[in-house]
């Protein structure tokens, strides 16, 4: 019997591998590659559901929730900074993802060690 940790590790490895393959396909840019890229993302989400693994935030932030495309800044999504948020807009479906950009506290800057 496999331990839960090992199953989770294998699942995460497969998800990351599929995400890398999807990114490669998205970069090549043909219609068939775009279709395959979406297929890889759908397989990765299916793996996470099957093994009951929560998708890591760094993986989630690279996938469009609207159309399952890989979000690559400048290629498949635009990135804007507005009002303390980073806004990712998918160029294929227009879905928007807002991430709060945490600002450094002024006290942190004063207490930060000097560079060099």
> What is the contact surface with Zn ion in residues (CB under 5 A)?
64, 66-67, 69, 90, 92-93, 95
Query: Which of 7/43 has CB closer to Zn ion?
Result: 43
Sign of the torsion formed by the C-alpha atoms of 74, 67, 54 and 13: negative
Query: Which of 12/90 has CB closer to Zn ion?
Result: 90
For the CB of residue 93, give the shortest distance to Zn ion in the complex, in Å.
3
Query: Which of 43/92 has CB closer to Zn ion?
Result: 92
Q: What does the alpha-carbon distance between residue 47 and residue 43 come to, in Å, rounded to a whole number?
A: 6
For the CB of residue 14, give the shortest distance to Zn ion in the complex, in Å.
23
For the CB of residue 86, give the shortest distance to Zn ion in the complex, in Å.
17
Query: Which of 12/34 has CB closer to Zn ion?
Result: 34
For the CB of residue 77, give the shortest distance to Zn ion in the complex, in Å.
8
Cα dihedral 34, 26, 56, 89 in deg (nearest 10): -90
């Amino acid at each position: 019997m496999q331990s839960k940790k090992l199953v989770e590790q294998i699942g995460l490895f497969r998800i990351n591998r599929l995400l890398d393959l999807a990114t490669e396909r998205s970069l090549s840019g043909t219609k068939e590659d775009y279709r395959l890229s979406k297929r890889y993302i759908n397989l990765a989400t299916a793996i996470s559901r099957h093994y009951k693994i929560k998708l890591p935030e760094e993986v989630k932030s690279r996938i469009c929730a609207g159309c399952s495309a890989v979000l690559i800044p400048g290629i498949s999504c635009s990135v804007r900074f507005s009002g303390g948020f980073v806004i990712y807009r998918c160029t294929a479906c227009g879905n928007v993802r807002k991430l709060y950009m945490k600002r450094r506290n002024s006290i942190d800057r004063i207490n930060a060690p000097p560079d060099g």
